[in-house]
Structure 1
């Protein structure tokens, strides 16, 4: 995802690509970012840490610096410290966050604007909002969320599936009623929201919210065919944060 975000930022006239990071063992460390993207040099070099990238002086004025973070769980504390130290807003698209990552995000949001989303697609968030409205309108409906992803995806169920299920639960005024996976002989518990994960092939991402009532069924589906939509959504979130006050934001704030 990092490369897609960098490419999208390089091609967006509203953004200036000023930094990028890779693991310290990668040979591209120190290379020009634009050249690494095969888009021509831009005078900025790839760093091994976020702190190093943010510390590199800028030759021009900006509306605000925003970090778009698609890395791996466990980096939250270091990234939070770097964003606070340099006054940078922080878009977090990393999934499978650890408890310490979550605490680091909460701490950072006291000083800088932070947006967290397991899915940067506008369409996915619209489905979550529609599912919440439908669950209220279809009083007593049984709700199940099924997600499909490629066979290499590590976390299950996906953060987007959980987002959709929790949107329904919140709209209904429910607490923690999610059930991930289903086995055994027990009947379905009234009010629970099931979440199931399917893995296989090269599926980019598909989520369906099923709402069952006696005599009919409503299905709301979001399918992704181009991962570029996540990069474009992340940049939309970044532009929103560039003018925001410190605090914790969600994609629904961007779409409001």
Structure 2
């Protein structure tokens, strides 16, 4: 075998090796791509499932709220109006008081109707939805003091699916405050800037030892953390016994 034949053989071998390497690399690329697509599909399915679960929970919470408000607020107002009319005895002032009570009942019903409308969250901004929820808490006087909310910055648009999950995170935090914290104050600050949406919610309740907080301890708070992770939001829950609880959530505008 002369040098020319040897060179040709070596060239063929090198070409075959290159083809094998290219095929191997392409196969690895395709395999990784398919695995990545499957992982992305799983993440998407998990997000959609979480979104569905969240919407169901909001709907269930809304129905509970409607039940409480009908019984504890509107029902009592209408009962009062009935008593006022029964005792009026053609007293114009008493009749006027009853009319005023009925008017208040109608106002409360109009406010309640916003919660019944399934398109409420879709038609409202996140801030408007949170304000509506806080107004409901204040009307029913769940806390000794009213819940305060402050909003600053220029509101920018966020995907409605993300807003729904953020709303549910706050709704669950509010519920925990009302049920467990024995707080007299709850302050909510919402800030939009050119980089992120930040929300801080702080109560002055009995708090808990957050250093021992973890999996299996506090289903509601664990749900809050898992949902924040689902939308890639930074979330921190700080608390100490007799020092209240603070929730801090940051959703970066780069994710929008």
TM class, shorter-chain normalised?
A: under 0.3
Q: When you count strand as a share of all residues, which structure comes out higher?
A: 1
TM-score relative to the length of structure 2: 0.23
Q: When you count helix as a share of all residues, which structure comes out higher?
A: 2
TM-score relative to the length of structure 1: 0.23
Q: Relative CO higher for 1 or 2, CA cutoff 8 Å, sep ≥ 6?
A: 1
Max Rg structure: 2
